[in-house]
């Protein structure tokens, strides 16, 4: 679909789809991109790349700054906890040159989940470790175990807990067509923060990482899209990389990062491919409680993609003011995300 054309979303009521202009962000060389919260991460990743680092080491170094930032409540230390007040982290990494991936899910007590995912990739024959096993593996490699709750995140959790009856993730028995389920006040303002960061290094190799504390106040044990290769992250060294933030459940049901990379392989620009994934999710979302009065998703998902030649782009379902971070040898900047529907 061309820029600004009407969105085709499988029978849903659609609006014109304004978009950032495809092709404006053609970096033609080493570049790092991330979700909006990653300006420091892409800057750091580019410093590493300029010093000769592999793209995978560079992006993991970059997101490490966000994982240890107590003020970012979407990831690592200070991430918002699950319903029981325990911070459970998900992360994945994927390395273009080797085609290998590593991930951890529902990992407790380790600040740098992305570094543990990297150890899974480099020091095990597995791809995904979860829960206690992931923590034991991290301890084996010398990661300290600590409480990840900050006073800020504890206070946020407590407020949620005290208002639980109107705001939880447990759905009562309901008809599939019951549009009132889950529509308690503030439901669609739930917190799905995450950081995805992808880069091309001096050798032209592509890698990526996605790391998160996941959906705030989730049911303990819930795993989102971030650690699932093909959903929260996908890299193909011949094509490029894609990753996501936002409602992980929608992405888990569409494997959109894999979809985006495959669309780029077929000739889509990164932005076109990201918009395609947004339309796919919008057209496949059926439960009434997830749709607004016009049949559009009541949640948001963002995608970020880069092509092996340096072209970058991103899109989200609901937007207008959304941005992502990008950095090259000229430094870091925020660039607009394309979008499917304009948020009011």
Measured from the CB atom, the residue of 39 and 226 that comes closer to ligand GLY is: 226
Measured from the CB atom, the residue of 53 and 129 that comes closer to ligand GLY is: 129
Q: Least distance (Å) from ligand GLY to the CB of residue 331?
A: 28
Residues ≥6 apart with Cβ < 8 Å to 223:
90, 105, 106, 130, 214
Q: Least distance (Å) from ligand GLY to the CB of residue 10?
A: 23
- Report the alpha-carbon angle 106-111-228, nearest 5: 35
Measured from the CB atom, the residue of 233 and 235 that comes closer to ligand GLY is: 233
Which of 73, 194, 211, 285 is an active site residue? 194
Which among 298, 313, 189, 320 has a CA at the least distance from the CA of 240? 313
Q: Least distance (Å) from ligand GLY to the CB of residue 190?
A: 10
Q: Least distance (Å) from ligand GLY to the CB of residue 150?
A: 19
Binding site for ligand GLY (CB under 6 A): 192, 194, 212, 214-215, 224-226, 245-248
Residue 71: count other Cβ atoms within 10 Å of its Cβ: 9
* Residue owning tokens 């016009």: 294
Measured from the CB atom, the residue of 192 and 339 that comes closer to ligand GLY is: 192
Catalytic (active site) residue 150: no
* Residue owning tokens 């799905």: 192
> Contact 284/3 with Cβ under 8 angstroms?
no
Q: What is the DSSP annotation of 260-295? A: HHHHHHTT--HHHHHHHHHHHHHHH---GGGB-TTS
> Contact 90/134 with Cβ under 8 angstroms?
no
Alpha-carbon Rg for the chain, nearest whole angstrom, is: 19
Measured from the CB atom, the residue of 80 and 327 that comes closer to ligand GLY is: 80
Q: Least distance (Å) from ligand GLY to the CB of residue 245?
A: 5
Catalytic residue ranges? 194
């Amino acid at each position: 679909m061309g820029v600004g054309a009407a969105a085709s979303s499988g029978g849903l009521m659609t609006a014109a789809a304004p978009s950032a202009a495809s092709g404006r962000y053609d970096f033609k060389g080493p570049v790092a991109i991330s979700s909006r919260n990653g300006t420091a991460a892409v800057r750091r990743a580019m410093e590493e790349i300029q010093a000769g680092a592999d793209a995978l080491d560079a992006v993991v170094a970059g997101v490490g700054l966000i994982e240890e930032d107590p003020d970012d409540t979407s990831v690592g230390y200070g991430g918002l906890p699950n319903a029981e007040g325990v911070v459970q982290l998900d992360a994945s990494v994927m390395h273009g040159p080797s085609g290998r991936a590593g991930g951890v899910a529902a990992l407790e007590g380790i600040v740098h989940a992305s570094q543990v995912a990297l150890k899974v990739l480099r020091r095990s024959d597995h791809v995904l470790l979860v829960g206690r096993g992931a923590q034991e593996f991290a301890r084996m490699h010398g990661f300290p175990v600590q409480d990840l709750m900050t006073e800020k995140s504890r206070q946020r959790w407590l407020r949620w807990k005290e208002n639980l009856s109107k705001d939880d993730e447990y759905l009562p028995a309901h008809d599939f067509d019951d549009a009132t389920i889950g529509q308690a006040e503030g439901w669609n303002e739930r917190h799905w923060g995450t950081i995805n960061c992808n880069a091309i290094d001096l050798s032209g190799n592509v890698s990526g990482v996605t790391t998160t504390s996941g959906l705030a106040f989730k049911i303990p044990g819930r795993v989102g899209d971030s650690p699932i290769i093909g959903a929260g992250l996908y890299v193909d060294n011949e094509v490029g990389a894609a990753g996501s933030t936002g409602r992980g459940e929608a992405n888990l049901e569409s494997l959109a990062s894999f979809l985006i990379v495959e669309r780029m392989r077929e000739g889509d620009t990164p932005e076109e491919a990201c918009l395609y994934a947004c339309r796919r999710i919008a057209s496949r979302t059926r439960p009434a409680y997830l749709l607004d009065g016009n049949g559009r998703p009541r949640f948001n998902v963002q995608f970020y993609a880069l092509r092996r030649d340096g072209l970058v782009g991103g899109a989200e379902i609901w937007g207008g003011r959304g941005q992502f971070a990008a950095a090259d040898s000229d430094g870091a900047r925020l660039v607009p995300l394309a979008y499917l529907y304009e948020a009011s």
